[in-house]
Amino acid sequence: MTQAQRKEQIYRAAEHLFSRRGYHATTMREIAATVQIEGGSLYGHISGKYELLYTIVLRASEQFRQATQEVLTGGGSAPEQLHELMRRHVAIVTASVERAAVYHHEWRHLEDEDQTLLKRRRDEYEAAYRQIIRRGVAEGAFVAQDERLASISILSLLNWTYQWYQPEGALAADALADHFYTIVMCGLAPRNDSERSG
Amino acid sequence: MTQAQRKEQIYRAAEHLFSRRGYHATTMREIAATVQIEGGSLYGHISGKYELLYTIVLRASEQFRQATQEVLTGGGSAPEQLHELMRRHVAIVTASVERAAVYHHEWRHLEDEDQTLLKRRRDEYEAAYRQIIRRGVAEGAFVAQDERLASISILSLLNWTYQWYQPEGALAADALADHFYTIVMCGLAPRNDSERSG
């Protein structure tokens, strides 16, 4: 196993333990035991538990940022961009529900400065959804009483996924994102018009 | 202050600290300091930290259970029941976002038997949404490709509320629930028909 592979293995062990037991309750000893190395040897790979938390949370944040940049600069109509961004989000979360759980729960244990960075990133991410919705409303592709609440609603669907999604289950990430997109676009009320988006 | 009032104050302090720092990282000493009593005196009111966690989580669970029982036995159409249940849910969460945070994050620290009870309660709660959606689909009031995903989507909106809702802000609980209901019913796509539910 290379140095890089070992480090990756340590991150995955930390994601697993932090997501189950929380950052505070997890010890370096447990992380070492999970990857089957001596406790002291961990420090040849990482500086400590905080580095693990910081890296896990920032990695997730970076994945979301990259998705928005690619989607926003990639062209397409507002509904197409919304659909694509929802697919990317679900793909990120379902690829590691454990990382997503750490991202959403354990950021509170980051130091103030790191929390500030993370909050800015999250605001930017939410702003990307508002931007798409605003454009869609302007172009007549969306109807929304309140852009912010519409954005929050969509993000709620996407974010909550890590709470219930079974990676070993039959529901593929894209199929789930498409279901979400249909609900967000069409709602539950029957439409008199024959055309349903999605 | 009566014995009951003091106990309530201890629960609120625990909700506050558990929601911010997590169950594991919170000490009885911190809880005592928050309510300004001697650490040892806490044990005159409660048996220990676990009782606090158990009571907070089960109280929230009980509130949700009561809401479904009242709504399901209260008559009304499927859309009316869905709307009312969404209002009740948002009211519970917004009344104490700290309790909701503990309910959603810290249940993992419950003992196995208590987790089993809690999971059963949550399954019953989700089943109530599925039941309302199934009835609505049968009566032609809803269109849903997948009842389970429709239920999960609605619960995602409702559950995520504690993550961003500002109790001191201008958005009232019922107004928020009504926004959610409109999104869930109508979606973002413009309707050719003049009638919009909600």
Asked whether residue A22 is domain-assigned, the answer is no
**Predicted local confidence at residue A193, as pLDDT:** 56
**Predicted local confidence at residue B133, as pLDDT:** 96
A186 contact residues in B (CB cutoff 8 A): 143, 187, 189
Q: Verify whether the Cβ–Cβ distance B149 to A20 is below 8 Å.
A: no
Option in A159, A164, A184 nearest B160 (CB): A159
**Predicted local confidence at residue A197, as pLDDT:** 46
Segment A153-179, tens digit of pLDDT: 999 999 999 999 998 888 999 999 999
CB contact A157 to B (< 8 Å): yes
**Predicted local confidence at residue B25, as pLDDT:** 87
CB contact B123 to A (< 8 Å): no
Asked whether residue A168 is domain-assigned, the answer is yes
Confidence of residue A75 (pLDDT cuts 50, 70, 90): very high
Instruction: Please give the average per-residue pLDDT across A58-76, as a whole number.
Output: 96
CB contact A23 to B (< 8 Å): yes
User: CA distances (Å), B1 to each of A29, A40, B41, B197, in order?
Assistant: 45, 52, 15, 49
Option in B79, B164, B179 nearest A146 (CB): B179
Q: Look up the domain containing B81 and give its range.
A: 51-186
Q: Verify whether the Cβ–Cβ distance A133 to B182 is below 8 Å.
A: no
Mutation target to probe the A interface, by most A beta carbons within 10 A, among B183, B184, B192, B196 is B183
Asked whether residue B29 is domain-assigned, the answer is no
Domain count, chain A: 1
**Predicted local confidence at residue B147, as pLDDT:** 93
Cβ contacts below 8 Å, chain A against chain B, sum to 137
User: CA distances (Å), A142 to each of A71, A100, A133, B16, in order?
Assistant: 18, 29, 7, 39
- How far apart are the C-alpha atoms of B190 and A196, rounded to whole Å? 10
Cβ proximity of B141 and B78 under 8 Å: yes
Option in A155, A182, A184 nearest B145 (CB): A182
Q: What is the pLDDT along chain B (198 residues), one digit of tens a residue?
A: 888 999 999 999 999 999 998 898 899 999 999 999 887 888 889 999 999 999 999 999 999 999 999 999 999 999 999 999 999 999 999 999 999 999 999 998 999 999 999 999 999 999 999 999 999 999 999 999 899 999 999 999 999 999 999 988 889 999 999 999 999 999 988 887 544 444
B155 contact residues in A (CB cutoff 8 A): 160
- How far apart are the C-alpha atoms of A88 and A111, rounded to whole Å? 28
User: CA distances (Å), A5 to each of A2, A44, A173, in order?
Assistant: 5, 13, 26
Which DSSP string corresponds to chain B?
--HHHHHHHHHHHHHHHHHHH-TTT--HHHHHHHTTS-GGGGGGT-S-HHHHHHHHHHHHHHHHHHHHHHHHTS---HHHHHHHHHHHHHHHHHH-HHHHHHHHHGGGGS-HHHHHHHHHHHHHHHHHHHHHHHHHHHTTS---S-HHHHHHHHHHHHHHHHHH--TTSS--HHHHHHHHHHHHHH-SS--SSS----
CB contact B90 to A (< 8 Å): no
A192 contact residues in B (CB cutoff 8 A): 191-193, 195
Option in B22, B104, B186 nearest A22 (CB): B22
Segment A111-145, tens digit of pLDDT: 999 999 999 999 999 999 999 999 999 999 999 98
Q: Given a cut of 50, is residue A196 above it in pLDDT?
A: no
Q: Given a cut of 50, is residue A88 above it in pLDDT?
A: yes
Q: Verify whether the Cβ–Cβ distance B143 to A22 is below 8 Å.
A: no
Cβ proximity of B100 and B162 under 8 Å: yes
Asked whether residue A115 is domain-assigned, the answer is yes
**Predicted local confidence at residue A198, as pLDDT:** 41
- How far apart are the C-alpha atoms of B1 and B8, rounded to whole Å? 11
Asked whether residue B18 is domain-assigned, the answer is no
Q: What is the CATH number of the domain that holds A151?
A: 1.10.357.10
pTM higher than 0.80: yes
Asked whether residue A195 is domain-assigned, the answer is no
A149 contact residues in B (CB cutoff 8 A): 176, 179-180, 183
Asked whether residue B154 is domain-assigned, the answer is yes
Asked whether residue A41 is domain-assigned, the answer is no
- How far apart are the C-alpha atoms of A85 and A28, rounded to whole Å? 36
Mutation target to probe the B interface, by most B beta carbons within 10 A, among A163, A181, A188 is A188
- How far apart are the C-alpha atoms of A106 and B80, rounded to whole Å? 38
A141 contact residues in B (CB cutoff 8 A): 189-190
Q: Give the DSSP letter of residue A189.
A: S
- How far apart are the C-alpha atoms of B198 and B194, rounded to whole Å? 13
**Predicted local confidence at residue B197, as pLDDT:** 46
- How far apart are the C-alpha atoms of A166 and A97, rounded to whole Å? 9
Segment A3-33, tens digit of pLDDT: 899 999 999 999 999 999 889 889 999 999 9
Q: Verify whether the Cβ–Cβ distance A188 to B164 is below 8 Å.
A: no
